[in-house]
Structure 1
């Protein structure tokens, strides 16, 4: 390694896909302080840049990570896709004495912080994870092994995406047209889901991976390939099925057992849709666990054609794109423990959450036409997380609107340009920053209003859709479309003060974690979801793409949030004062520790009550910087 340049090493040691993945993994490990990488490291400045040095034992062994100033949820991010492992020699003679090691007299080459004789370069995911796993508590080694498998799955998916990019783009343009900004209506909106599915998650580095699914299964059922497939159906005894949603709850397309070739069961059974990937061993085990083996009957043929949405387990019917069916899958994404099944209690919470949002909108009429809610009050389950369905109905009147999940904004549209640029050309005079400004203004107005009622939503980039159109009176109209409202956090004291007799009874919800007696869980969720994922990620993303300086974009986020906070009132104890102190002016902000809670550590080891709401801390990129540059 002596005399070599780290940049050259990184360029040749791994293929581009693995190098990109490893950069994200290292940055995430640093942000979440895995094995003390953030809090136990020493900063070492070298001629090529900044390195972090983490002691690896009592004999002078160490790991060195090249880093760069970042600021989005972490002070540093990985600068190169590698770790350097030194086996010994940190006694001040080789330039790694914890100061700067650049006095030119110690025989180092001034590039990587080593003396060129006792260091190993680790440039692949497996090697890097192995070195970090060696520093972990033995009780956590299994989690590192599981995450290594996530990396393998993700890398295989990334390579598959690279191989199929042109094929998928051609198929989308053939079906919907050459300009993604002209893909209108709910059916075409699924094409925007396809674009989003090919983009990396802003926080979780292995989000493209899905456990236990091979390339053929992904091509057949994953949203990034925009496939069409037939749904499978299970005839379930009526006595075993819970159905919620009104006098005639099931949609008009719902098949009878006779439609499925099971006419003899028409009087005793109802049909329950099953995702094709759940058919087989997962379904058999679910039926045994639910006591329905021998009573429930799987129809022998598919019925109704579907297209996957961004969440994959949710599919839209091609015959009725306004109807989405959320179906459990026996796979996991965003962490080993983040299974894509559907616990019956979440169906209860989603319907109750929707009713709560409707209550707020009724009191805040300015949102009547700007915040749209998908109806999630119709569902059925047989008491098992693989035997359930949510029937999500989207609002009418969207045929001429462009509808996309926020997650798609920075995706690459067919032709190679960013989707946000194409949308800006159509709706905002070609200015993507103006488009972001409009999104932030409405988003913060809505979410801070909810905070004033004591509530925050888990409305991340996948659960918030943007609806653009041109109303008859001209101009551009932007609306939000919300779904999946089952995981909010509520300060019940503040909500009762705001809603009085209209405040919900916590007993109407299944998950007791939703309700608390103070603002902490609410501000944490507001910050990590609304601020980081739905605002900050776009400020840093647009800056990375060169659309405007980062300082300008983070200033825009702060200004729009500050304006919304002021509307809440900032007197002592008022909601605006709470948000100002906890978000705008806080020295540090909560940051999701998704790998830690989702894969690396068990719940007993991490202490996470909810793996999606487990936090560490990071810098506040909204604080005013006095430096005028």
Structure 2
């Protein structure tokens, strides 16, 4: 196959990611039913098809969650030698091999690919425009973007980077180019929120609201000043989604949508979470009627997740209080204030950041491998300023602290869903701290936690709890190891061996420091395991129904891949 032209590079890169993900997740037996063939141009996988045919996939050794990955954006139909180089043709060929009840999922995934391709092309076309905007607002060197206002610029860079695992991560279900430009983090926009006056009796409210919170009268609704509370609504939720939510909640005749907008905000990396422009230490997480990282991964906010986020915060604060060494190095956003009207589109989380971040660089881990305005990696800019130009020293400092904290939690029976988006580096000269947010969705070994921090802790989701380390270890591996460590080794080919050695060494040190049964579990099931769990996000999120996949939680549905730490040699 000839190299793709400049006009189709975006689709070629997308198709390569898609093929690699489908191979990793063993969709239609692409991994387990194929045979490996060595050819002069490289390795190929041959998947037999009914009637004596076959599909051929060119692959190369990978090692990051899968033994092989696609090396070309290509699937060949052996019967006639047809080269399938478009995502639609590839998915049609694989769809034909799926069970009839699963074929709608392939159609849905094809639509995800279409939306993602449009978004990727839009990102490519607006790269210089956005880089110029960020430079004009914050300066030319990202390592000097300090404080929480500038932190939003790092979110913009990260939003233009592909997810380490999910191949269509930049797509958002149902949104147009105009809507993306107005509301998506990759364009660094500013917009005003809409507000809904909700009867006080219908609203569950915890914690004190910020001083800027409007009254119904300030929104032009004086008639309900004494009976209603204002609830912010994302502009993208206004219209049919909001009207349906109000009907479902029984509030269609009593809640009032204000005509006035109020409060300028800037989107964060998660898009549904926005920072208050005048006070970026306050973030508002608002439900959106869209989906990312899978058709079933809705961006709404179930009331139970708000309860769990607050419970997770209490648990982490109690853990930190028992471990003095983390008091100055592990920071937590306050997520104890929230409101909801019993519906996943009628809710808000009010997140408050800790004080004292004004002079620090605050960047999500997700931005480290993103491209800065000058084309270099954000990681390299930060290393230049804070670590004498050595990105490995920066990663070393980050991983040392991260593994120490996360293994300490593991020792207490807890694993967090703290992926790259939910952890920020807080950098000053000669100082690195980690800031955590979004504490819902942990997995907990109740027997171990009860031994050190007796509950109850008030989690709403019964899936949180188990009586052994299985779910805890799976989450630790797929989030802390794969996304927050391994992704940097395989995302930095020039440093791959050195970063893998660093990961192995620092994780080993943290496990040794932990000691006891928990340490033995991590050694056996992570450091020395022959295979590791990996997320099967496409399968659970889009391709298969929950009944077909058996996924109790689409974000915690796993297959298995190689352990890239087992044969690491050398010292970091």
User: Is TM-score (shorter-chain normalized) higher than 0.5?
Assistant: yes
Paired position in structure 2 for 1:39? 32
Contact 1:195 1:411 in 2 (8 A): yes
Matched, 1:512 2:466: no
Name which of 413, 427, 431 aligns with 2:386.
427
Helix, strand or coil at the partner of 2:395: helix
Please state how far the C-alpha of 1:542 moved relative to its aligned partner. Answer: 1.6
Equivalent in 521, 530, 555 of residue 587 of structure 1: 530
1:493-531 Cα deviation digits (max 9, x unpaired): 0111222xxx2216x111000010000000000000000
Partner of 2:65: 73
**2:396 — aligned with what?**
437
For the 8 Å contact 2:501–2:569, the answer to whether it is kept is no
Question: Is the Cα–Cα contact under 8 Å of residues 13 and 124 in structure 1 kept in the other structure?
Answer: no
Compute the TM-score of the two structures, normalised by the length of structure 2.
Answer: 0.99
- Count residues with an aligned counterpart: 571
Task: Tell me the CA shift for residue 625 of structure 1.
Answer: 5.1
The reply to whether residue 532 of structure 1 matches residue 489 of structure 2 is no
Report the structure number with the largest CA radius of gyration: 1
Instruction: Report the Cα distance in structure 2 between the residues aligned to 1:452 and 1:406, rounded to whole angstroms.
Output: 24
Aligned-partner Cα distance in 1 for 2:230–2:181? 27
- Residue 626 of structure 1: CA displacement? 7.3
Distance 1:168 1:125 in 2: 28
Match of 1:217 among 154, 171, 179: 179
Partner Cα distance (1:20, 1:11) in 2: 9
Cα-to-partner distance string for 1:146-181 (whole Å, 9 max, x where unaligned)? 000000000000000011100011011101111111
**1:195 and 2:157 equivalent?**
yes
Following the alignment from structure 2 to structure 1, what is the Cα–Cα distance between the partners of residues 568 and 451?
37
Q: What is the CA-CA distance between 1:301 and the residue it aligns to? A: 1.4
CA distance 1:174–1:256, change in 2 (3 Å): same
Structure 1 segment 274-289 matched on structure 2, within 5 A: 274-289=233-248
CA distance in 1 between counterparts of 2:134 and 2:568 reads 44
Is the aligned partner of 1:484 residue 2:405? no
Q: Give 1:233's aligned residue.
A: 195
Q: Secondary structure at the match of 1:295?
A: coil
Q: In the TM superposition, what are the counterparts of 1:139-538 in structure 2 within 5 Å?
A: 139-245=101-207, 249-470=208-429, 476-499=430-453, 503-505=454-456, 508-538=458-488
- Contact between 1:332 and 1:338, CA under 8 Å: does it hold in 2? yes
Contact 2:217 2:224 in 1 (8 A): yes
**Alignment partner, residue 113 of structure 1:** none
Deviations 1:90-145 (A, max 9, x none): xxxxxxxxxxxxxxxxxxxxxxxxxxxx2111000000000000000010001000
CA contact (8 A) 2:189 2:266 kept: yes
SS class of match (1:398): coil
* SS of residue paired to 2:441: coil
Q: Distance in 1 between matches of 2:568 and 2:384?
A: 32
What's 1:605 paired with? 548
Distance 1:271 1:13, change over 3 A: closer
Secondary structure (helix, strand or coil) at the match of 1:231 reads strand
Aligned residue among 125, 130, 135 for 2:87: 125
Partner of 1:112: none
**Root-mean-square deviation (Å):** 1.2
CA pair 598-621 structure 1, distance change in 2 beyond 3 A = same
Give yes or no for contact 1:13–1:123 (8 Å, CA) kept in 2.
no
1:51-82 deviation line (CA, Å, top 9, x unaligned): 0000011x320000000000000000001000
Distance across 2 between alignment mates of 1:527 and 1:131: 33
1:137 aligns with 2:88: no
When normalised by structure 1's length, the TM-score is 0.90
SS at match of 1:333: coil
Q: Please give the alpha-carbon distance, in whole angstroms, between the structure 1 residues aligned to 2:57 and 2:35.
A: 10
Instruction: Output the CA distance in 2 between the equivalents of 1:523 and 1:34.
Output: 24
Match of 2:539 in 1: 596
Superimposed CA distance per residue, residues 375-429 of structure 1 (whole angstroms, 9 cap, x where no aligned partner): 0000000000000000000001100000010000000011111000000000000
**1:13 Cα deviation after fit:** 11
Task: Write the deviation string for residues 280-327 of structure 1: whole angstroms up to 9, x where unpaired.
Answer: 000000000000001100000100100000000000001111000000
**Inter-partner Cα distance in structure 1 for 2:548 and 2:104:** 12
Write the distance in 2 (CA, Å) between the matches of 1:173 and 1:419: 14
Matched, 1:25 2:3: no
For 1:44 and 1:13, the matched residues in 2 are separated by: 30
Give 1:552 deviation, angstroms. 2.0
Q: Which runs of 4+ in 1 moved over 4 A?
A: 625-628
| Structure 2: gaps spanning 5 or more residues | none
- Once the two structures are superposed, residues 447-476 of structure 1 have per-residue CA deviations (whole angstroms, 9 ceiling, x without a partner) of 000000000000000001110013xxxxx1
